[in-house]
Each structure stands twice: as structure tokens, then as C-alpha cells.
């Protein structure tokens, strides 16, 4: 896979990498300088959109807060309100196992981690009991938290949940491997969040465990609404007798380690009140919150699509949210790039050129706005109209055309867009799809359709980076796509993240206009930027709501 480094710093990158605000004096700024050239966005596969963009750690100082991913350091400079994108410096706290046998040994005997309280060390870990590793001949019956208190050597053991409980809650048929995803100290109590492995029958119960050194008791918090979720991170605000637990949640499944869940959750344990903030009901910039950082009156939320700074006390008001989204940019070569209507299309149907109109560069097919033309391969139609193009283009995704050579194409914003009609691929109500789940989840689309992972933004449907499912065992991520040829490795993808305009949706047919196209990956070199984001006002009602009523 060829991905060369960008060597010339563009003015556009400087504009997109930082959100310009009134500058503070030089003496007050203690922030890193932008790199001489923007870090390229290097890809080995589609999973790198998650590996490169999801925050795994935050570091805060008086002047900065840095969200670290495995690939980048994204630093917000407080004095001048700018973002600086640099090569990553994150170092995992533990080295990965050397081989499969070592991995199994670690799962059966996980290392203890440590929290410090009042100068004393508390060691802790979670594990399956009895231990099924390494031969898998023993079925675990419970998940255990072990805590070694200061000056003691033997652990105190607490059952978090059992296999019988998991089956009765219908969150799994067997116990998935548990992971401690967050640990913190609040009001002289130790807190941990435990997330179970999900998929292939594995499951568990989302759990917050608390230890009070004064009473030597471990308390479990397992809200019924969260039972099937995975908690990625935890922050606690409010008064000690009226705390608010802020949780970053998601779900996962077989071949899909990142599935949207309830989003950002606010839970008050004293009143049992629970509220959710996700992409469909709040200004949150992504589908899956991964990292939380409490910063006085602000709660920072890092997702796989961007970052939000939220005034947590007034979170219900839209002006309490300030968000930025990730945007991949690439300079267009002077010769321009040919645009294809789909990942596997053999004939380009447009051209992107810097700073000039493309009206004389599009094919005859493009000149007929929204006119349907049969394609002998898949009976889909594409149309386009010309528009003015800038010197850079936003890159939305990359997909492989051929797994053998790893040759691929970038999906890019293409303002004229194309129209495609998909036969035998319409919408269906959730009650018809899943008889046991008659209602759509609050964070899900009103009905099941091929664009269910896009969210209504007021006039179009949009899809964030972390709204794309990896689908490792099903031919890779898919979007607006079809499987048409025998032996086809990848579906014919028309849009993976391009904005959608819904033209027609019935029980058998889907017709959309998508504002994107595909270009060969050797023609562009993307780089990461962080730009302001504000959720559009819903000037129009979501058309899916009315359609879902007709399909019920």
C-alpha cells in the first residue's frame, strides 16, 4: 500500500488544523508549535480509521489538553483556542504478548494494576473464574474482581456477575473476557468500570465497582438500562452525596469491535436517573465516545469522529457544546484526478481539478442532472452536475479494490454527486426485522434500511468515521452498496461516508443522491486536520419517520 509523506506545508492545512480565535500574548502561551509539515494519514487497512482516530489517553496541563491516539497527538491550546496535530507519542503501559501462548497465559493470569490513595497502593484486576485458559476445557461461571489492599498479599475477591445472570439478562450465552476500562478515585472511594467482551455468544453485564477503604466494602453499580453496553471510560462530577457518573458507551459484535451504543451517558446513582447524549439527539460529534476528561466545569469527550468540550452543568442547552470534527484533507494535483461513481467502477465520470470549474471536464452522463441510465452490470443509475472545485479535497474513506494487491480508492467529497437506485433493497420496520425487538433503539434509525448508519442532519444524512462498521468477517465495511458478481471480494460501494439525499425508499427500492465519488489512492496524500463542527439545525423533518409509519 503506497502512502507517501507530504513534504510541502499548505496554507489550507494551517487553516484547517487550527480554529482561529483572538490570539493571546506570546508570553501567556505554553503550547507546542505546529509541525513544519502536516502528518500524513497513513493506512494499512480500513481498521486504521479507528486506530488512528480513537483517543486512548488524555494529558492535561494548565495551557493544553492533548488527546492521544495510537498515531497522533491532538493538542488543544487553551490561550489561543487552536488545535495542533502532531505525530503521536503514545506509549502503551503494557507490551503486547509475544505470541498466542503468551496471550492465553496473560488472559488466565492478568497482571495487577495499581491505584494510589492517601499514599497507599491498591492493586486490582478482573478475571474469569474458573480459569478457562489455555485449553478451554473449563467453562467459567463468574467474573471476579480481585483487590489487594495496602500491606496485604492475598486478594479480596468480589463476584461481579455470574453466567446465570448473563443468560437471564439475555446479554450472552457464555462469559466474555472482562476488561477494566477505567479506574479513578472520587470522594476517597476507588472506582472501576468493567466491560465484557461481546460477540459470538460472549457477553456480560456492564459494571461499575466501588471500594470504600473506611468500610472495606465493594459496591456494584449495574443500571438495568446499561446492561448490554460496554463502558469505555468514566468521569464523576457533582457533590459527593449527589454524584453524576458520566460514561462513554458502545457495543460490539462478531467481527465488529466498534458498534454505536447509547453514546455519552449521565447516571445519577442516588435517584437512578439516566440520560443519554448521542449523535441523533445531541450535538455530539461522533457515534462512539471513547475518552472522557473532567476539566473543572468542562467535560471533554473524545470520539472516533472528533472531540467535544461540554459544560456538564448545562449540558441540555446546545450552546454548552463546543465541538470539532476530524477531517482528512488532500491537495489536488495540477493535472486533476478522475472521479469514479463507485469503488469498482471502470470508467471515470468526472474530474476534480484545483481552482477551476469542472463543467467542461465531465462526461455526457454527468450533464443530465438526476437522469437515470441503466448500467448493464447492476441496473443502477448515476447522474451528476458540475460545480466549482477548490485546490484541496476532503477525503472521506479508503477501501480496497483487491485484497491480494491492497490496491484501493479514496472516497472524496464530490459536490455534484451521483444518483443510484438499488432494486430489491428497500426499508423494513424493526418489528418485522426482529420480532423480539419491535421498537428501534433510541440511538438507531427509525427503520432498518441500507443507510441506517447515516444520521439525519436537517437536510441530508451524514455518516461519521466511527459510524462505519468494520465487518471483518462479512467482506469488510459497507455502505450504499450491492453484491452483483459471483466471486466478488468486495461489494460495489457507491457511498461509504458521503452525504446522502433520500429520493425514494419503499419496501423494495432505495434511491439516493450521494455527494461523493472515488479516486485512485495513488493520486492523493491525505493529512489529518481538526475543524470546528456545529450540528445543523433541522430545517426539515427526518423523512424516515414518515416512511417508518407506512412500513409498520
Counting Cα atoms < 13 Å in the Cβ hemisphere of 263 gives 22
How far apart (Å, rounded) are the C-alpha atoms in residues 172 and 379? 41
How far apart (Å, rounded) are the C-alpha atoms in residues 195 and 230? 5
Which residues of the chain are under the pLDDT cut of 70?
Answer: 1-28, 356-390, 436-439, 485-489, 538, 552
What is residue 422's predicted lDDT score, i.e. its pLDDT? 95
Report how far apart, in Å, the C-alpha atoms of 290 and of each of 86, 105, 295 are: 20, 28, 16
How far apart (Å, rounded) are the C-alpha atoms in residues 110 and 32? 37
How far apart (Å, rounded) are the C-alpha atoms in residues 186 and 219? 14
- Rounded to the nearest 10°, the torsion over CA 118, 180, 277, 243 is -30
Q: Which residues contact 102 (CB under 8 A, 6 or more apart)?
A: none
**pTM value > 0.85:** yes
What is residue 144's predicted lDDT score, i.e. its pLDDT? 98
What is residue 390's predicted lDDT score, i.e. its pLDDT? 61
Cβ–Cβ under 8 Å, residues 163 and 170: no
What is residue 3's predicted lDDT score, i.e. its pLDDT? 36
What is residue 368's predicted lDDT score, i.e. its pLDDT? 31
User: Which grid coordinates are listed for 245?
Assistant: 457518573
> Residue 404's CB: how many other CB atoms inside 10 A?
8
Counting Cα atoms < 13 Å in the Cβ hemisphere of 216 gives 6
**H-helix or E-strand spanning residue 49:** helix 48-51
Counting Cα atoms < 13 Å in the Cβ hemisphere of 188 gives 8
How far apart (Å, rounded) are the C-alpha atoms in residues 480 and 489? 16
Give the 3-state secondary structure of 421-454: EEECCCCECHHHHCCCCCCCCCCCCCCECCCCCC
**Burial group, residue 127, by CB count within 10 angstroms (0-12, 13-18, 19+):** buried
Alpha helices in 198-318 (DSSP H): none
Amino acid at each position: 500500500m503506497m502512502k507517501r509523506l507530504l513534504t510541502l506545508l499548505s496554507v489550507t492545512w494551517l487553516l484547517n488544523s487550527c480554529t482561529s480565535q483572538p490570539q493571546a500574548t506570546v508570553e501567556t502561551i505554553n503550547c507546542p508549535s505546529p509541525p513544519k509539515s502536516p502528518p500524513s494519514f497513513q493506512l494499512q487497512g480500513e481498521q486504521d480509521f479507528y486506530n488512528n482516530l480513537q483517543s486512548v489517553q488524555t494529558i492535561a496541563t494548565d495551557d493544553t489538553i492533548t488527546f492521544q491516539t495510537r498515531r497522533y497527538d491532538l493538542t488543544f491550546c487553551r490561550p489561543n483556542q487552536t488545535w495542533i496535530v502532531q505525530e503521536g507519542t503514545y506509549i502503551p503501559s503494557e507490551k503486547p504478548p509475544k505470541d498466542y501462548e503468551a496471550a492465553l497465559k496473560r488472559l488466565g493470569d492478568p497482571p495487577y494494576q495499581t491505584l494510589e490513595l492517601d499514599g497507599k497502593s491498591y492493586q486490582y484486576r478482573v478475571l474469569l473464574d474458573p480459569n478457562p485458559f489455555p485449553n478451554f476445557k473449563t467453562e467459567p461461571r463468574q467474573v471476579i474482581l480481585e483487590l489487594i489492599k495496602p500491606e496485604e498479599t492475598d486478594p479480596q475477591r468480589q463476584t461481579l456477575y455470574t453466567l446465570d445472570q448473563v443468560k437471564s439478562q439475555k446479554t450472552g450465552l457464555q462469559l466474555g473476557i472482562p476488561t477494566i476500562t477505567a479506574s479513578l478515585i472520587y470522594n476517597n472511594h476507588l472506582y472501576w468500570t468493567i466491560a465484557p467482551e461481546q460477540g459470538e455468544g460472549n457477553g456480560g453485564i456492564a459494571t461499575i465497582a466501588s471500594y470504600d477503604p473506611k468500610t472495606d466494602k465493594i459496591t456494584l453499580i449495574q443500571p438495568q438500562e446499561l446492561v448490554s453496553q460496554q463502558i469505555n471510560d468514566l468521569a464523576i462530577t457533582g457533590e459527593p452525596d449527589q454524584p453524576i457518573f458520566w460514561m462513554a458507551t458502545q457495543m460490539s459484535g462478531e467481527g465488529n469491535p466498534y458498534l454505536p451504543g447509547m453514546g455519552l451517558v449521565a447516571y445519577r446513582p442516588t435517584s437512578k436517573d439516566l440520560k443519554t447524549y448521542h449523535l441523533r439527539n445531541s450535538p455530539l460529534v461522533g457515534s462512539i465516545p471513547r475518552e472522557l476528561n473532567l476539566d473543572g466545569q468542562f467535560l471533554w469527550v473524545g470520539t472516533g469522529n472528533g472531540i467535544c468540550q461540554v459544560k456538564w452543568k448545562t449540558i441540555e442547552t446546545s450552546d454548552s457544546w463546543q465541538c470539532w470534527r476530524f477531517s482528512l484533507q488532500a491537495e489536488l494535483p495540477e493535472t486533476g484526478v478522475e472521479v469514479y461513481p463507485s469503488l469498482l467502477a471502470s470508467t471515470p465520470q468526472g474530474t476534480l481539478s484545483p481552482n477551476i470549474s469542472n463543467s467542461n471536464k465531465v462526461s455526457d452522463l454527468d450533464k443530465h442532472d438526476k437522469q437515470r441510465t441503466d448500467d448493464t452490470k447492476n441496473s443502477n443509475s448515476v447522474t451528476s452536475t458540475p460545480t466549482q472545485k477548490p485546490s484541496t479535497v476532503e477525503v472521506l474513506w479508503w477501501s480496497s479494490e483487491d485484497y491480494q494487491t491492497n490496491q484501493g480508492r479514496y472516497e472524496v467529497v464530490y459536490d455534484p454527486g451521483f444518483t443510484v437506485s438499488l432494486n430489491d433493497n428497500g426499508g423494513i420496520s424493526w418489528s418485522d426485522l426482529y420480532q423480539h425487538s419491535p421498537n428501534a433503539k433510541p440511538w438507531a434509525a427509525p427503520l432498518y434500511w441500507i443507510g441506517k448508519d447515516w444520521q439525519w442532519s436537517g437536510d441530508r444524512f451524514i455518516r461519521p468515521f466511527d459510524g462505519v462498521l468494520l465487518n471483518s468477517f462479512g467482506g469488510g465495511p459497507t455502505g450504499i452498496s450491492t453484491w452483483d458478481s459471483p466471486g466478488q471480494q468486495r461489494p460495489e460501494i457507491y457511498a461509504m461516508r458521503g452525504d446522502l439525499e433520500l429520493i425514494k425508499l419503499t419496501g423494495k427500492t432505495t434511491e439516493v443522491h450521494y455527494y461523493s465519488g472515488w479516486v485512485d489512492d495513488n493520486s492523493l496524500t491525505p493529512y489529518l486536520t481538526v475543524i470546528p463542527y456545529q450540528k445543523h439545525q433541522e430545517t426539515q423533518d427526518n423523512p424516515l419517520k414518515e416512511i417508518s409509519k407506512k412500513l409498520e
